[in-house]
Amino acid sequence: MSLYAIKTELLSLADAAMLHGHDSPELEQAFAEHRAALIGAFQDKSDDYAALVRVCETRAAARREEAERMTKLADDDERLAERLRSTLLEAMQAVGLQKVDTEHFRLAIRRNGGKIPVVIQDEASIPVEYRVPKVTEVLDRDGIRAALEAGTAVPGAILGERGTRLELK
């Protein structure tokens, strides 16, 4: 029986018990026995769900750890490739070669495109007309919360409700 079916039957049983449960002691006893059986099924199904939650959490943690390990390896490969590229560029420049044709590759030294870079030698001596003010504004959520908790109305804000979660132990 599915968790949904158990839940639905428990809710239906509760409704039926409220309507007809006081008709006779036998009927009341039948409702109680059926409810106890459904609660047992609910507990068994809940145990299965909780076990599956744990499996998923454990698998997610292992995958996240493996992803971090693979990301570090990829970063190492990128740094190595950049060092090798730099070493080859320096060697070609040192021996005066602009192009090298190999069995598998055609290497060439090229100038970078795009805008000419600006090198700032002394930031303090740059005139004010070349400075752009940077204004960053963020909401003081702690201050808003404190004001709302103290009973002060803050336009555009209200206190929400804490969410719920299922704790597995």
pLDDT at 28: 79
Give the pLDDT band (50/70/90) at residue 91.
very high
pLDDT tens for each residue of 136-150 = 999 999 999 999 999
pLDDT in the model for residue 66: 98
For residue 28, CA distances in Å to 11, 14, 20, 21, 34 come to 16, 11, 8, 5, 10
Res. 3 pLDDT band, cuts 50 70 90: confident
User: What is the distance between the alpha carbons of residues 132 and 142, in angstroms, rounded to a whole number?
Assistant: 30
**Model confidence over 28-85: pLDDT tens digits?**
788 788 889 889 999 999 999 999 999 999 999 999 999 999 999 999 999 999 999 9
> pLDDT at position 163, please?
85
Domain ranges of the chain: 3-118
Q: Which residues of 46-65 are buried (b: 16+ CB within 10 A; e: fewer)?
A: eeeeeeeeeeeeeeeeeeee
Q: What is the pLDDT of residue 31?
A: 79
Q: Is the pLDDT of residue 93 over 70?
A: yes
Q: What is the pLDDT of residue 50?
A: 94
